[in-house]
Structure formats: structure tokens, C-alpha cells
Amino acid sequence: MLDGVVRFPPEFAARYRAEGYWEDRSLRETFGELFARHADRVAIIDRDRHVTYAQLDERATRLALNLLDAGLRPLDRVVVQLPNIVEFAYLYFALQKIGCIPIMALPTHRFREMSQFVELSGAVACVTPDTARDFDYRDLVRRIRDSSKTLRLGIVLGAAPEGFLSLSELVERPSERSARELKSIVIDPDDPALFQLSGGTTGVPKLIPRTHNDYIYNSKMAAAVTGVGPDKILLNVLPPAHNLPLACPGMQGYFLHGGKVVLAQSTRSEDIFALIERHRVTHIAVVPALLIRLINDPSIKRFDLSSLQVIQSGGQRLQPEVRRRTKELIPSVTVQENFGMAEGMLMFVRFDDPEDVRMETVGRPVSPDDEVRLVDDDDNEVAPGEVGEFLARGPYTLRGYYGVPEYNARAFTTDGFYRSGDLMRRHPSGNYMVEGRKKDLINRGGEKISAEEIENLILMHPAVQNVACVPMPDPVLGERMCAYVILRKGAALTLQELVAFLMNEEIAKHKLPERLEILDDFPLSPFGKVSKKDLTERIARKLKEEGRI
């Protein structure tokens, strides 16, 4: 077991094995068998590239052997930052073949986040594009490598300058090694297959170890409640490293059943509609902000979307009116809401739930051994129907973040329940309803932003005396960030100036505040702390008065 990973307690692991949830097989073994079984079927469509399961396996194997030649070894950590292209799949399964652990970064992450991932994990390699729009990822990797004690390899999709390797060349180049070497690499199914990312509330990212045992089970159970089968076709529009499009059921879930995954490089409505029509897509996973944009685009009526059966919505609460309007425009479709977290626990509304339950709730857990508690501030379980913090434990929910025992002592109960920070209510049907958040996070279109991280950066501005970042309601993204600021005497500050300052700190653009409010003092709670609840209510009232919500 990799040092720093929190194991499941032996008695729980024994039960999960006895119940058949954990099969003690690695992703390499599981998907190797499936790729051979479905060899001639098309696995992935990426623009004009149609890749069969056999071709996917062959290219991932070749890449794996070349990565061994490049010096990668089992349990090495590799930061993966690729867009929605077939090379992502080649790399993901290549790393599984040699027992390396990918860290699932997003294309929007910049130096601040990427350097943290490398430092926290001890990563030895980064795999990125060469450039995208006006950003040079090669320069980013050079800077991290110059300051890192562990990072050795920079691998880029596209032109590889001196000191870098080309991902495309590693995929295509024949290896002198034999594929039989891969079978000699021992992979412990209780080791992490990958690290997902959690923003946390402290501003420092947390690494979420997802083991081979729990992640395969995760995808199997998600596939079981979303109607996945060999004749189903998923359109992947969201960033491929996200837990939802990767494994809930995502690419993994469709490959488990011999299904097909179509990759979208664009989120333009007309491009998405065209892919659905062209490939007779049956399933698509979205966040509410994207679905709202799709159904409000007039071009939707120009395309044949009748193949579409399921729109899976996650990341934030979906309003019932959006579901009703979607059904009017695409009569063949069911909008299926789910609630999940990269830490594990998944809840889905079931297709046979009554309409009122489908409209009002985010579903119920997918595993018989998922355990849920709703508790008050003293960890006492709340009465039925009351709101409490959502705690989770189960066969695919982590028992601790990687390498942070002090933080884990706060993030988990003594008996191993994960404190999600989400406030929920149990519906009489047994499903759950989201009622808000306890953690100081802003949910911008499904991307969770740590308010503390941005506050700490804003406090570095010479004009700022104090700051509080809060969510403000948005009809499309759900929430955006508003920065309430107290200025130093005689100072002035505009939103444009603040954003320019933060951009110099090299953070992802989705973390930038989108409104600036200047105050002389902050409202305080009875305990003398800044009352973010009052600030949140204040900006909501102001937006309503302005006619923005």
C-alpha cells in the first residue's frame, strides 16, 4: 500500500469482499478482459477517429511499454491534464497497465494548482497539451520542474520541445519490450488506481485515493441505475478527468458493458446537437448550467434528437422547470438527477420513482451497503424530515484523504463517516433533498471553489483590509462568487483591477470573483465572526432588486 493512503478497516473490507462488491481485481485486469471480449466493437469516437476496443488496448499497451522505457514505475504519480480526446483514454489505461497513479487535473488548472498537485503527491511526471489558445503548458511544466524535488518528466500532446516527450509519439512508437512484461507487474487492488481532486475548504487541494476495488464497483453500480448496456452510446461533453464523466458511470461504466463513448471537443449547443444526431447518442451527462443553455438555444429544433434517452444531471441542484422544459423539447428523454462526490458516495433518482419524487429529490444511494447519517452540529442524528449534515460511509467512499492525517481527523468521524459538508433532508420516499452547504464552498456550475483560497489571495492586495467571498445566486450557473471587501483608508479598487491582480497569481479562471462589493464593516455573528449568511442574503436581495434573478 502506498504510504499516506488510509485503508478501509479490515472488518469492513472483509464484508465488502464477502458481499461481492470488491472483486480483488485491478482496473488493468478488469478492462483487459473486456477489451478482448469486445475487440471488434467501436469503443470511442473522437471526431473522425473511430477506435475499436482492440485498438484502444493495443495503443494503451504500446504507450505503457514506452512509459516504462521513459522511467515510470508502479505507484509513481502522474499529473494528467488533457482535454476531451482519445489520447486521454490511451494514457489512462496505459497508466493502469503499469500500476502508475494518475492525478486527475483539469485543463483549466494553472501554475498555482498544478504545483500543489505535484508537491502533495510527489508526482514524477506531468502530461499536458503543448498549448491551448494563448496558454503554454510547456512553460508551466518547466517552471514546476525547476522548483520540484520529484518531477522529472514532461510529456506533451503536440510538439515536444527539448526536455519533453511527445505523447503521440509514445502511443505510436513500437517498443522493444514484450507486452508480457506488463503481466509481471503486481498491482494491489487496495492501492489507489487514481487520485481525484477535492477543493476542500482550506484552499489547499486534497487528493482523493480511489482504489481499484472501490472504483470498479463505483462504475458498476452507477451503470446499473442509468440503463447502460452494449447498445448505449454516451456523449462525453464534460472534462474527462471529472468523476462524473469518467466513472459515474462515464467512460468506465460504458466500457464495462461494451458500449460506445463519443467525445465532444466543443460545448457549443449546435456542435452538441450535431453529435447527438450524427451518432444516435442515447445518453449524455451534463451540469445544470449546460442543460439550461442547451434547451434555451433556438437551434435545438433543427436537429433530430430522438435517439436521446437519458440526460444525467449532476454537480448542483436542477430546478423542476428545467426538467419539464427539457421533456417538452425532447419527448424521448428522461432527465435523471444524481448527487455524487469524488470522495465516493453516489445517489441517483431511479427511473421508476414517482414524478413528484423525481422532481423534488436528488435520489438515494446506489449500494445496499451505503450508510448515511444526517446530523446536527453535535453529531446527533436529526429527527426524520429535518435538515442535517450529510455523512457517508460505504464500499466506495474513502476513509481518508492522501497524506493529511490532521485534516482527516476533522473531515471524518471517529467511526469512519465522511463529513460531506452538504445539508440534506430525507424525503418520505427514502430519497434525499439538498438544502444547502455547511462547508465554505461556492458551487459555480458544478465546480466547487474554496472561498478561503480566494480570500487569502485577495488579502494580498495592498488596497484590501479584509474580505469575505460568498455565493450569489445565478439562474444558469447556480452560484457565482461575490467578493465583499473592506478597503484600507484612502484606497480604491474596481472589479477589473481585482481580477487582474488575481490573474497574476495564476489560478484557474473559474475561481475569479464576478462581483465586488465594498463595505465599511462586515456583519458579525453572535460569536463575533463574519456572518457570511447575512452577506449571502444581502447580495441575493440586491440582485433581486436589480432584476438579475
Q: What is the pLDDT of residues 238-251, one digit of tens each?
A: 999 999 999 999 99
pLDDT reported for residue 435 = 86
pLDDT given for residue 74 in this prediction: 97
Could you tell me the pLDDT band of residue 526, with boundaries at 50, 70 and 90?
Answer: low
288-322 residue pLDDT tens = 889 989 999 999 999 999 999 999 998 878 888 88
- 241-288 pLDDT, tens digit per residue, is 999 999 999 999 999 999 999 999 999 999 999 999 999 999 999 988
Q: Which CATH number fits domain 26-188: 3.40.50.980, 3.20.20.70, 3.30.360.10, 3.60.21.10?
A: 3.40.50.980
Quick one: pLDDT band at residue 533, thresholds 50, 70, 90? Answer: confident
What is the residue extent of each domain of the chain? 26-188, 216-437, 441-545
pLDDT given at position 332: 97
pTM of the model: 0.88
Collapsed DSSP state (helix, strand, coil) of residue 386: coil
Burial class (CB in 10 A: 0-12, 13-18, 19+), 520: exposed
Q: In what order do the strands lie in the sheet with 346-348?
A: 49-52, 42-46, 260-263, 233-236, 283-286, 310-313, 334-340, 346-348, 364-365
Question: d(Cα 382, Cα 425) in Å, to the nearest integer?
Answer: 9
* Of residues 530 and 498, more confidently modeled: 498
pLDDT, position 438: 79
Q: Are 26-188 and 441-545 in the same CATH fold?
A: no
Nearest to 232 by CA among 209, 215, 213, 256: 256
CA dist 528 to 56, 522, 533, Å? 58, 10, 13
- Protein fold of 441-545: GMP Synthetase; Chain A, domain 3 (3.30.300)
Per-residue pLDDT band at 205 (split at 50, 70, 90): confident
Question: Per DSSP, what are the bridge partners of residue 381?
Answer: 375
Q: What is the mean pLDDT of residues 212-234?
A: 98
- Residue 335: predicted pLDDT: 96
Q: What is the pLDDT of residue 159?
A: 83
* Helix, coil or strand: residue 474: strand
Query: Residue range 66-84: average pLDDT?
Result: 97
Q: Read off the pLDDT of residues 345-402 as tens digits, 9 standing for 90 and up.
A: 999 999 999 999 999 999 999 999 999 999 998 999 999 999 999 999 999 999 999 9
- pLDDT-derived band at 542, boundaries 50, 70, 90: very high
Say whether pLDDT at 528 is over 70.
no
For the segment 42-65, the average pLDDT, to the nearest whole number, is 98
Which residue in 191, 182, 232 sits closest to 210, CA to CA? 191
pLDDT of residue 200: 60
Task: Look at residue 527 in the predicted model and tell me its pLDDT.
Answer: 52
Q: Where are the beta strands (DSSP E) in 264-370?
A: 283-286, 310-313, 334-340, 346-348, 364-365
Q: What average pLDDT score do residues 194-214 get?
A: 86
Q: Is the pLDDT of residue 436 over 90?
A: no
Q: DSSP label at 524?
A: B
Residue 490 C-alpha from the chain's centroid: 43
State the Cα–Cα distance between residues 239 and 108, nearest whole angstrom: 10
- Residue 158 is predicted with a pLDDT of 86
pLDDT reading at 412 higher than 70? yes
Mean pLDDT of 315-341: 91
pLDDT of 338 over the 70 cut: yes
| Residue 297 pLDDT | 94
Residue 1 binned pLDDT confidence (cut-offs 50, 70, 90): confident
Determine the pLDDT at residue 446. 84
Work out the average pLDDT over 515-526.
Answer: 87
Given a cut of 80, whether residue 201 has pLDDT beyond it is no
Residues in the chain: 549
Residue 350 neighbours by CB under 8 Å, 6+ apart: 225, 363, 364
Higher-confidence position of 1 and 448:
448
Q: Cell triple for residue 66?
A: 514506452
Q: State the DSSP code for 412.
A: B
Give the lowest-confidence range in 187-191, 196-200, 312-316, 450-454. Answer: 196-200
| Of the options 3.10.20.30, 3.40.50.300, 3.40.50.12780, 3.30.70.920, the CATH number for the domain spanning 216-437 | 3.40.50.12780
How confident is the model at residue 441, as a pLDDT?
Answer: 85
Q: What percent of the chain has pLDDT over 70?
A: 98
Share of the chain above pLDDT 90, in %: 86
